[in-house]
Amino acid sequence: MLLKQQSPACDSFYAKVNTGNAVELQAREREAGMKHLGQPAVRLQLLNRLTALRPSMRPHWGSMTAHGMICHLADSFRVAMGERYASPATGVLQRSIMKWAALYVPLHWPKGIRTRPEVEQGNGGTLPEDFRQDHADLIRLVETFAEPPFRFLRSAHPIFGSMREWEWLRWGFLHMDHHLRQFGV
């Protein structure tokens, strides 16, 4: 079915719809309005919030310390880039509905969701040592994660399974935002 083109601004939209790429286009349009680490301004905002974090800050929920949270995020980015192992806990539900809800539904992630033991503070995650060094390591990891060539494309998420480039970048934003809100920054 050929759709009527209404303006030059719609040319690419209708061209894709008319060639059978409507589903891909709808996904890209939906994704365009969502924050992710591939957007330099969004990444800068997150890193500025991270800079406001102090070791003495207490969580609004959960039991991690601010320093432990930095190590947890660093461990998670290392897993995403294949530098650290996290055991898989994925099934059809996690790879489909849970992944879609976590990445595409415009709501904050719920509090108290369990993580994989290899990145969990007090279980198998990296122990906090030097706040300034761990903080600097996390900033470096975020920058490496968010800039091409994307090293995360070789890894599967331990819960969500395989993810596209945009989904990894969206996950990175949401995971950082979740834990920064945990500490009120």
Q: Where are the domains of the chain?
A: 1-32, 35-182
* pLDDT for residue 94: 86
Q: Strand pairing partners for 157?
A: 161
Which numeric CATH code is attached to 35-182?
Answer: 1.20.120
What pTM does this model have? 0.81
* pLDDT for residue 90: 75
Q: Alpha-carbon Rg of the chain, whole angstroms?
A: 18
Low-confidence stretches of the chain (pLDDT < 50) are 1-20, 25-26
CB count within 10 Å of CB 178 equals: 17
